[in-house]
Structure 1
Amino acid sequence: MSMTHRPLHGGSRSLLLTLAIATASLHGVQAQAQPTAQQARTYEFDIAAQALAPALVEFAEITGFQLFFDANLTRDLNSPGAHGRLGGEQALQRLLAGSNLTYRFTNPTTITLAVPDNGSALSLGATLVESKQIAESPVGPVDGYVARRSLTGSKTDTALVEIPQSISVVTRQEMDDRGVQNLNDAVRYTAGVRSESAGIDSRADDIRIRGFDAGSWSNSRYLDGLRVPRGGQWTTTQFDTYGLERVEVIKGPAAVLYGQVTPGGMINMVSKRPTAEQRNEALLQAGSHDQYKLALDVGGVLDEQGQWLGRLVGSFNDGNAQVDHTDLSRTFIAPSLTWLASEDTEVTFLAQYQKDDGGSTYQFLPMTGTLRTPHGRIDRDTFLGEPDWNVYDREQWSLGYALGHRINDTLSFRQNLRYSYVDTLYKGAVSFGDTQPDGHTLRRRAVLGDGTAKSITVDNHLQADFATGALDHTTLFGVDYLKVDWEHLRTGTNHPNIAPIDIFDPVYSGVADIAPNLRPQSSYDTTNRQTGIYLQDQIAWENWRVTLGGRYDDFDDNQANRLNGTRTVTKDEAFTWRVGATYLFDNGLAPYFSYSTSFEPAVGETWDGSPFEPTEGKQYEAGIKFQPEGSDSLITLSAFQLEQQNITVADTDPSHNTCLPSLCQRQSGESRIRGVELEGKASLTDGLSLSGGYTYLDAEVTKSTGADKGKRLAQVPRHMASLWADYRFQGGPLAGLSIGAGARYTGGTYGDPENLYHIRGYTLFDASVRYDLERLGIQGTEVALNASNLTDELYVANCSTVASCFYGSGRNVTASLKYHW
């Protein structure tokens, strides 16, 4: 971050007032307008008591504001300093305390200092203090596509370029430009990530990172740094992306900070939080399949002292889906409240409520008619279930807080806590094998799943910032705890209690014989606990940044089988660690290397009753990041080798016969993924924004007792590529118009472990058009049209068995009207 200090010439005194904002001074001047986005952000300040002039220099470098003042005004004046996470204006007031100086904003990013009786004058010889780079909150809004800082990668406020691991951030601006409707949409232009890998599924987020599951059925989704609950089979959460500020993806093991996660990586969703800006937004959408959406986002300062900030985000949508006889409705509300208790203490309360009603788009289609088409192809909107037995209802809510307290100049403490609850009901009728020999008659089965999950999770960490000689340390010590209680009951019935159906001309037979013939198939009452202790040290020496970390986890799973009255208790422990280093060249290049490990509990036991060891992962990663100083861009090139051990496989030893009629399981499986990723994001000054990447994955089962040894890992394409470009016209007759276009390529995959079923690759196109109606005299209003899968490509996303094939999403077009005030 560079700064300039230069005298102003006379012409600078005629600065135009571009935004009339008068702010409250230390001596009673009242605010007359709401602050802008930059004024509303909060920053981490550690400005010591000192002479006022250098204190203002530090303020400008942290916030990015320009300060104009006559050097004579600050001569012989001292500042008490400012500490903690504060709004820019709040920090400036503390720096000026006792100085008898006032200030005013002459445009959204420029502040003029003066004495009270000469509040508008700038004299010759005034000084401009400016920063060429605007500071960013790691949980706050980002102007454009390029985030610079993150909490997710280290649990400290760290520049992305300094973290020795590949991390991607999808900003709110990028989500809005692309018309994102769900988490799958949000990450679809992220290198190393495959979304909707198992086809259309309105129930869940289906995401794989570096070949491993990181979606709703995994332990790798986090909200505001805390893991979200997951219960039995169909009991999981999903979060409306309108309530998110950013989506962050860690690629590779993250267990050193978060505990049990898949080795491929994890996703952290960052909620919208209160800011000092009173920015209101109303949104109206209408789109394909008669879907419509209403949304509202309001918030700002709640009291005259500026200690209380509030925000309310909510939405409602209703309509049909791409699959016939499927309705989808959602009600979402997320209030939040921030209390700036003192310059050292801040707490934000976060709550969410979401209710999903309707059916499920997830169909187990037969291989005949999808992957194999001797008699034709099943239409994507064909529904092969029963209209009166198509239900997926979910109610979820959460309540928690994020507390930060600065103890002194060295120590600070943070605590994040959340209680969550989710209740789901699923009814579905799906295929029971492939079609009959005639090629169009399909037998079916019906299931009902009812489950709840409730969890409490808390993360405490103490951060120490200190120096030992030439080394600057940011040391983190933390303890976290997670408890999930879940219950799940699955019942079902098969043919002939549900009649077969013609896949090309479906006639529905009704559900009269389904409910009376449902039989329990599984019923569990389970408690999962995890306690983790972790230590991390981020060391800075000259241009070197070194990260060292280790974590110990103790976990247990206590599961009661309510059908047979048995109980299985799995207790174990694991140690994971990470080491990495980055070198920051002056030209913006930052080569890095890291080694990290991961674990996941493996529930079950061997033939002799011995509990399974945790499944373990490790990764070597080397790469280079490029972020030239002053640019709004970030490019990451990484190469990695990712291995997973202790995978459960079939035990083929004939003497191990205690599991008959099934084979027992043992842990001897291993897999390896070698890959290369290239990702770039840029928000260029001429109105052009870019986001995209390329991924190469060589994924192989290296050790197994089955036929999958030496085969490619299922659902892992060898090549993926994407590019999104958005251009906003800056002047001329097209000023106010924005156009965007994107392309996504996913290479061919195998749907099953033995590589029997090959799925062809596909290329999809997206587009958007937006227009700011301010050009027509309508202030604060924008209209937009977004389309995904523009050509309505019909493609198979996955096919794992002859009765488990899935289409990907078709074309979806959404028209939006957005109003800000």
Structure 2
Amino acid sequence: MERTASYLAGKQITQRAVTGLSLSLLTLALQSAWAQPQQNSSTITVIAQDEESHSGRLSAKESSSATKTTTPLVETPQSISVIPRQQMDDQNTRSLNEALRYTPGVASEQWGGVTAFDQFTIRGFNYSDTGYSDVFQDGLRNTNGLLFGVQQIDPFLLEQIDVLRGPASVLYGLSNPGGIIALTSKLPTSETIRHVEVEGGTKNYGRVGLDFGGAVNDSGSVLYRFVATGHLADGMQQGTKLKGYALAPSITFNPDDNNSLTLYSRFQYDPDLGVITSLPAYGTVFTNPNGKLPRDAYPGEPNHNTFSRKQSTVGYSYIHNFSEDWSTVLKGRYFGETSNYDAVIMSGLNDDMRTISRNTAVSDEHYNTLNFDNQIHGFFDTGALSHELLTGVGVDHMRGHTDYGSGSVSSLDIYHPDYGVAEFGPTALWQDSRVSSTQTGVYLQDQIAWQQWRTTVGIRHDWSKIINKDFLYGQNYEQHDQATTGRVGLNYLFNNGISPYFTWAQSFQPVAGLSRDQQPFKPSRGELYEFGVKYQPPGTTTLLSAAVYNLTQDKSLSTDPANSAFQTQGGKIRARGLELEARGALTEQFSVIGSYTLQQVKYTQDTQGREGKTPLRVPRTFGALWLDWQAPAGTEVEGLGVAVGGRFSGGTKGGTMDNQFNTGGYGLMDASIRYELGKLDPSLRGGKVQLTAQNLLDRKVVAGCYSTDTGCFWGAGRQVIAKFSWDF
């Protein structure tokens, strides 16, 4: 059976068969690989990234995120969605939040129009936006800082986004039981790329983007890619601004068929990230005698709002083929970030229901990370079984320092604000800490093929260490954890393209902190049972999938009943759900992206009386549908494309766990129209104009709430953007 295995370095390796599980087998096979040539029909060829592992306008056929080897989606025994570059372009995606809107199992934009952070849940579990995050890029973790130091990638720099739902610790180490996000960067390609685009839109929005790539020399042994972008806009709240710049150069050296080295970097500077402050529930969710608050209501001070972030990355990826059947992939990356935050935020609503109390929030944070993933891949047979073996060692290290303080600010009439006259009190330091964390894991995976059966088996063991130094209160601690996780998946491939599957998988996450008796918390554990079926008509990239699952997480934190000043690991959360997804071509002219999610997420065990309750900001049901039409060739409207989309979300819980309320559901519409100018005049070949609208009807909705007095967020209003692009 022919298989194309695409490694996360942006390379591809073509190979027959699928691989074996056991260290003894690995040792014997490696000895054989070094001792003599393999006598089979398998071949390994390092080739350029332009031979993409997917085709089709809005769908993909393969992914490497679930197995770290390129595996057809229909053979992957777990739920996975692939968002290709074409979808991001058609929908004019400006953030990871926006890219996830049409994906099952993922509820995004919980903070509405706040764009400084990516906020979402996967199968009801919150994305970890501090410390070890659940976002990976080119196979390595995008580790975050402690407060405002969060990695955020401009999507113009990306080629693809994968969403793997369910535990992924067996390959990636500590992670959210709900799943992970895997980003693929734009990297060097042998195909010549010369792309320029300019955008303008409502809210004084503007953006430019450059994407150039191709061969440096005649032989094509040296390839390059240079991607750059910059944007500016008004923020959703009155008087706020958004501004950012990013560039990502990379180069690949292919001296021969058995070696390939890619060096890459990314520099991103966001001098204006907008605001992250929220509004009261009275005036957004609930009736307020003073009326509804406007969408641009701002409880802060426009002239006292600083939020900037600098990010820098350098990394490498090296592939070496030992033989036709054995290869190694070595990856490493350094990342550094500095963020500064100084703004006025709301802290309460007064009895008159219009005057808000406020305070300043001041943070100075810097951190750096080192990430490595070293792998060995091998292909061999044992009797009638074909094996694809993967073994590796991964290391994630982070070191960071955070100062955080707060001070008093005079109150404000949120309905008739008078900015610029606020009185500020002194800032008191609340946090001055340094954190160092390291995770090291070894893993082994075997993908076994026998006739039409596919089995995926994996195991990983991790060691983690967290060192916290508190320079303010002296609450220092050192925490050591270790955990073993596994996964077993089974598929059967019918000749008609139907593939039912089952998977069992585990996850773990270290829980930082100390209990009442000053003992470090143990890692929380996740466990998944999932049944599903996928259907891919032979010869197409269209994929229909359905999955039902039972997912649990234990050892979650809850209040210690013996002393409410401490926490205990007495909590357990269970998520059960149904997910449906359709991606691909309906006809030669029509393509579709459709998703539906029905989930029940609740506490099944707790010391705070939360049993049976749903966590905040987790919808029970949500879905989306995107229909795209491309004009037939040879007609008068050839080159025209039109798309329309709809998104809905059921209500979520806001307030506190003791006093919950429903924010109410909502539905939104998006639309896009594009035209290839070369169909109008051959001299304009490569040019394209596009108009997109998000929240087309400008519906005013509450995206989510985390408290009653201060914690509600309006969803983003209508945004219309015109784009001109040129490929030459």
TM-score of the superposed pair, with normalisation by structure 2: 0.92
Q: Who is 1:6 aligned against?
A: none
Q: Alpha-carbon deviation of 1:623? A: 0.1
Partners in 1 of 2:346 and 2:42 — Cα distance?
68
- 1:702 corresponds in structure 2 to 604
Map Cα deviations across residues 98-153 of structure 1 (whole Å, 9 max, x no partner). xxxxxxxxxxxxxxxxxxxxxxxxxxxxxxxxxxxxx9644xx7441111111111
Write the deviation string for residues 352-386 of structure 1: whole angstroms up to 9, x where unpaired.
00000124232221122112122211111121101
**In 1, Cα distance between the equivalents of 2:686 and 2:613?**
56
807-816 vs 141-150, greater mean Cα deviation = 141-150
Aligned 1:655-804 pairs, distance under 5 A: 657=563, 662-730=564-632, 731-751=634-654, 752-754=656-658, 756-777=660-681, 778-801=684-707, 802-804=709-711
In terms of Rg, which structure is larger?
1
Q: Check 1:81–1:478 CA distance in 2 against 1; reply closer, same or farther (3 A cut).
A: closer
Q: Which amino acid in structure 1 is aligned with residue 576 of structure 2?
A: R
Contact 2:56–2:584 at 8 Å: present in 1 too?
no
Letter in 2 for 1:373: T
2:177 and 2:617 map into 1 onto residues whose CA distance is 16
- Secondary structure at the residue paired with 1:44? strand
Confirm whether residue 501 of structure 1 aligns to residue 406 of structure 2. no
Note closer, same or farther for the CA distance 1:488–1:474 as it changes in structure 2 (3 Å cut): same
1:237-277 Cα deviation digits (max 9, x unpaired): 11000010000000000000001110000001100111111
Counterpart amino acid of residue 521 in structure 1: W
Match of 1:108 in 2: none
Say whether the 8 Å CA contact 1:421–1:452 is kept in structure 2: yes
- C-alpha spacing 1:699/1:136, structure 2 compared with 1 (3 Å): farther
Q: CA deviation at 1:552?
A: 0.3
Quote the offset at 1:705 in angstroms: 1.1
* Residue of structure 2 equivalent to 1:131: none
Letter in 2 for 1:305: S
Structure-2 separation of matches of 1:750 and 1:47: 50
Partner of 2:510: 601
Question: Percent identity among equivalent residues?
Answer: 35
Residue 632 of structure 1 deviates from its aligned partner by 2.7
Match of 2:719 in 1: 812
Contact residue 716 and residue 750 of structure 1 kept, 8 A: yes
1:707 is displaced (CA, Å) by: 2.8
Equivalent position of 1:207 in the other structure? 120
Check whether the contact 2:42–2:324 (CA below 8 A) recurs between aligned residues. Answer: no
CA distance in 2, matches of 1:620, 1:291: 45
CA distance in 2, matches of 1:544, 1:149: 18
Question: In 2, are the aligned partners of 1:142 and 1:173 still within 8 Å (CA)?
Answer: no
State how far apart, in whole Å, the 1-side matches of 2:100 and 2:523 are.
29
**Number of residue pairs the alignment of both structures matches:** 691
Q: CA offset at residue 47 of structure 1?
A: 9.3
What code does the residue aligned with 2:122 have?
I
Against the structure 1 CA distance between its residues 706 and 788, is the aligned structure 2 distance closer, same or farther, given a 3 Å change threshold? same
Of 47, 58, 61, the match for 1:145: 58
Name 1:36's counterpart in structure 2: none
* Residues 254-403 of structure 1: pairs in structure 2 closer than 5 A: 254-375=168-289, 376-403=291-318
Residue 600 of structure 1 deviates from its aligned partner by 0.5
TM alignment of 1:570-581, pairs within 5 A: 570-581=479-490
d(CA) in 2 for partners of 1:605, 1:531: 22
* Counterpart secondary structure, 1:644: strand
Q: Secondary structure at the match of 2:170?
A: helix
Greater RCO (CA < 8 Å, at least 6 residues apart): 2
Aligned residue number for residue 21 of structure 2: none
SS where residue 545 of structure 2 aligns? strand
Would the aligned equivalents of 2:44 and 2:325 in 1 still touch at CA under 8 Å? no
Indicate the larger mover: 439-448 or 143-152. Answer: 143-152
Separation in structure 2 between the aligned mates of residue 136 and residue 261 of structure 1, nearest angstrom: 31
Distance 1:361 1:812, change over 3 A: farther
Amino acid at match of 2:566: C
Q: Distance in 2 between matches of 1:189 and 1:563?
A: 45
User: How far apart in 1 are the matches of 2:242 and 2:433?
Assistant: 29
Q: Which of 454, 457, 474 is the equivalent residue of 2:368?
A: 454
Match of 1:163 among 76, 99, 111: 76
Q: Who is 1:407 aligned against?
A: 322
Give 1:86's aligned residue: 47
Q: Would you tell me which structure has more strand in proportion to its own residues?
A: 2
Per-residue CA deviation, residues 469-500 of structure 1 (Å, 9 max, x unaligned), is 00000111110111100111101013xxx111
In structure 2, C-alpha distance between the alignment counterparts of 1:810 and 1:46, rounded to whole Å:
49
Q: Tell whether the 8 Å contact from 1:679 to 1:694 is kept in structure 2 after alignment.
A: yes
| Matched position secondary structure for 1:521 | strand
What SS class does the counterpart of residue 257 from structure 1 fall into?
A: helix
- RMSD between aligned alpha carbons? 1.9
| Residue 645 of structure 1, aligned match among 554, 558, 570 | 554
Work out whether residues 204 and 215 of structure 1, in 8 Å CA contact, stay in contact via their aligned partners in 2: no
In structure 2, the CA distance between the partners of 1:791 and 1:223, relative to structure 1 (3 Å rule), is same
TM-aligned CA distance change 1:362 to 1:211, over 3 Å: same
Amino acid at match of 1:639: V
Return the alpha-carbon distance in structure 2 between the equivalents of residues 325 and 640 of structure 1: 46
Per-residue CA distance 1:636-668 (angstroms, 9 max, x = gap): 100000101001111112xxx5xxxx5221111
Q: 565-574 or 545-554: which moved more?
A: 565-574
Structure 1 unmatched runs, 5+: 3-40, 49-79, 89-134
**How far off is 1:511 after superposition?**
5.5
Aligned positions of 1:500-519 closer than 5 A = 500-510=411-421, 513-514=424-425, 517-519=426-428
Contact 2:42–2:325 (Cα < 8 Å) also in 1: no
Deviations 1:559-579, CA, capped at 9 Å, x for gaps: 101102331111110111000
